[in-house]
């Protein structure tokens, strides 16, 4: 399975934008880039996903590099409730990685008031 690399931790101030990077240099052409987050004492929660084009939803934006070897999750205005572990995950649309989420260590995001 293709691997992702994320910083161990990042910090932000409340109401400021946050850019969470992810490197995935071995991504294959059929891999989708998914982001999940896990709040304390809860199961992971879907945030956003994309293939090639940038994506926006009510929670965040996903910026995907043109060569798809990296992506950035953007939280436009961080709140204290955004403090969580953020996981960048590649999921294949077919083949042996079909449908499986393989979690890395993720990025621990701390949001300061």
Partner 1 sequence: DVKVTQSSRYLVKRTGEKVFLECVQDMDHENMFWYRQDPGLGLRLIYFSYDVKMKEKGDIPEGYSVSREKKERFSLILESASTNQTSMYLCASSLGGGDHYGYTFGSGTRLTVV
Interaction site with partner 1 (CB under 8 A): 30-32, 34, 36, 41-46, 49, 51, 90-94, 97-106
Of 94 and 113, which has the nearer Cβ to partner 1? Answer: 94
**What Cα–Cα distance (Å) separates residue 48 from each residue in 43, 54, 58, 101?**
16, 10, 9, 14
Strand partners, 46: 36
Cα gap 13→92, rounded to integer Å: 35
Nearer to partner 1, 75 or 91 (CB): 91
Shortest Cβ distance from residue 62 to partner 1 (Å)?
A: 12
Q: Compute the least distance from the CB of residue 8 to partner 1, in Å.
A: 12
**C-beta of 113: minimal distance to partner 1 in Å?**
27
Judge contact between 75 and 15, C-beta under 8 A. Answer: no
Residue 29 C-beta: closest distance to partner 1, Å: 12
Q: How many residues does the chain have?
A: 113
Report the DSSP pairing between strands 84-92 and 31-38: antiparallel
Minimum CB distance to partner 1 smaller for 99 or for 113: 99
Nearer Cβ to partner 1, position 9 or 13? 9
């Amino acid at each position: 399975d293709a691997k992702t690399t994320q910083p161990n931790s990042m910090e932000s101030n409340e109401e400021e934008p946050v850019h969470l990077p992810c490197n995935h240099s071995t991504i294959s052409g059929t891999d989708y880039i998914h982001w999940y987050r896990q709040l304390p004492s809860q199961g992971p929660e879907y945030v956003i996903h994309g293939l090639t084009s940038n994506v926006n939803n009510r929670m965040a934006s996903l910026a995907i590099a043109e060569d798809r070897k990296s992506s950035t999750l953007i939280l436009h205005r961080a709140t204290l409730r955004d403090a969580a572990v953020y996981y960048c995950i590649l999921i294949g649309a077919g083949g042996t990685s079909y449908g499986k989420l393989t979690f890395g260590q993720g990025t621990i995001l701390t949001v300061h008031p």
